[in-house]
Each structure stands twice: as structure tokens, then as C-alpha cells.
Amino acid sequence: MSTLRIVADENIPQVEAAFDGVGEVRLADGRTLTRAQLTEADVLLVRSVTRVDEELLADTPVRFVGTATIGTDHVDREYLSRAGIAFASAKGCNANSVAEYIVSVLLEIAAHEGTTLAGKTLGIVGHGNIGGVVARYAPILGLNVLVNDPPQQRARIPGEWTGLDAVLRHSDFVTFHVPLNREGQDRTLHLMGEAQLATMKPGAWLINSSRGQVVDNAALLSALEDKRLAGAVLDVWENEPDISRALLRRCLIATPHIAGYSIDGKLNGTRLMLNAVSRHFDLVQAWEPQLPRVDQPIVALGSVSDREEALRRAARHAYKLLADDASLRAGMEREGREWPAYFDMLRRKYPVRHEFRHFRVEDAGIDGDILNALHDLGFKTGA
């Protein structure tokens, strides 16, 4: 067949190298992409900032749409089906990246409160690719786990399932890992509204890294102002990129929708897009991503003997979560359209972030239980 004509979001890493030999790649700004840019395109590759629907694709030759993200709420899949346009997502590509973000968040909350995670309860709403990894990591932090996932429960998938009300009433931390469903039995739009927030255990923490609209941001702001919750950590927001600065100020940690932005997760997304295009067009294409060099790959913990503090130091070495928070807050005084543009810029120019598996812990003098916990979180240990 002839060479494919591919239009790709410029923020899909190494997309030109990955599709070399498959087709001609033209890069585009995903936020401002128009139909005119697709009049000579067979394949469209996007991220979550592009709304893919009939308005964008009608009367174009596009035959395949791929999103290098796990979420698909920005894609009108019903239209694609009617139009005979194939579709693929990068489901699961950044599961570990988001899970490591949650680990870092929990460790920072404990440090902020001057307490320990051991013996407390984490409620996980959504037990898919990401929620499943979070559920695996939580006991390493000493946490008990409650899981809510009605679709899996109805499908009789083995697991200990807990109703949402019970999760909210009994959890010290609640983290959300659900898709954005705007209607139907499993609607998640404003899954956490005023009534649900009022149900949460007094002094609990809310963490959202799924989709901004899963949590009613106005209701959350009210709950934080009234001190009904201990606090919140948000990576996703309603009305992105023009997010509520009043809510941001009330969050302990606030980040610009980057929980899944490890370089590992991003390159996984590129690889999954290449695989999907190759399958659809019956191509054979091999590609090895070029992983950037890891700065300071050795984690020196010194003589720390407290297990949780050791995990926190290692997590801070690998991922500068608080720097992401500081970067977002640094732009809060920008006026007009400069504020949403700043939010987008932080995502577009996000620095390279490697996952825990790329870091090795110096194990001299470190207790074996601590080393085992670090290993189970993904860090390299031993010779």
C-alpha cells in the first residue's frame, strides 16, 4: 500500500522516529487542530487536549484515529463507528506512572500531617489498570485497602468489593481511578458531589488523578473551606486549562494533569499507537524508543532506620512531586488567557521524569525489610 499520511500531536514523544517507514508524519498543536489540517491525512494521532468528533473529521480522508492516552472521553467513539473510522487508545500505558504519583502523594500527606500511613485505610474508586497497581502498592506503605468498582463487581470478577458509601465513610484517603462517563449506570460525572463529600470520614483526604469532572470542584472547594475534609490533592481539574485558582490554593498539592507523564508512560503510549496502526493497516514495524539518560540514578538513604521515611526519601529522589506543585503555583497571578496558557505550557514542556525502576538504592546498612519494600515499589536494590 502507499505511504500513510499521518497527523500527530506534537507532544507525542518520538512519534516521528516511531512511524519512520510507516508514513509521512506531520506534527500539529493538539489544542488548536482544525479540519483543514486533516484534508490530506489517513491517520490522526492525538492526546487528551483534542476533541475528536464529526466537526473535526467530516469530509476528511482519515481512516484511523488513535489517542496516546488511557482516557477516551475526548473522542466521540459513536461517530467514529458510524463513519467507519477505526479507533485505538493507549489503555494502561501510564498505569505505573500514576500509581507512583499516588505513592508519592500519600507519603507527602503523611509528612505534612506528622503522622504515619501504617494502619490507615486507602479507598480506591476504580480498579482498572491504574487502580489495580495502586492497590498492589498500598500495602507496601502499610495501608489497608477498600476497593469500589461496580462494573467489575457486576461482572463477578474476583475481588473484595465495597460500596462507594462505605469506602467514603471508612477511608482516611480516597483516590479516584475511573473513566469519565457522562451518563448511564456507571456515570462518573460528578461522582463526588456535595452529598458524597459530606459522606466522607471527617478528617479524610481526597485525591483525584482520573478526570477533573469526576469531582464537583465547586462542592470540593466548599468542603475544604468548611474544613469538612483534612485536605485534597488534585492533578486533574474541571475546566482545564482554565482551572480554579481558588481551589488550587486550598489543595495541599496541585499539579497540572501530569500524574501519568513519566517518560516511560509516554513512550508506552507511542509504542501502543504504532502497534495499533500496524495491526490495522497490516504492517510490520519495529521500533525501540530512546530513553533519556537518568540524572542521579543512585539513591543514597544514609543511615535511615524508619521504614516510611526511607520510602519517602527514595520517592522524593526519583520524582520531584513538590516541584510540580511549585511550578503550577508560580503562575497563579497571571491574568486573562495567560493563566490557562501557562497550565498548557507546563504540560507541553514537562521535564523528563523516570519511574522508580530506573533508580538503584545504595543498600549498605539499610534494613532488609526496608530494602524489600523499596524493591516492591520498583526500585533496584542489591548488586
Active site residues: 211, 240, 257
| Paired strand residues for 38 | none
Give, in order, the Cα–Cα distances in Å from 230 to each of 122, 146, 252, 257: 14, 19, 10, 22
Own/partner contacts of 71-80, CB < 8 Å, gap of 24 or more, are: 71/179, 71/180, 71/211, 72/179, 73/179, 73/180, 73/181, 73/182, 73/211, 74/46, 74/48, 74/49, 74/50, 75/46, 76/52, 79/53, 79/54, 80/52
How far apart are the C-alpha atoms of 171 and 138, rounded to whole Å?
Answer: 13
How far apart are the C-alpha atoms of 199 and 206, rounded to whole Å?
Answer: 12
How far apart are the C-alpha atoms of 373 and 308, rounded to whole Å?
Answer: 9
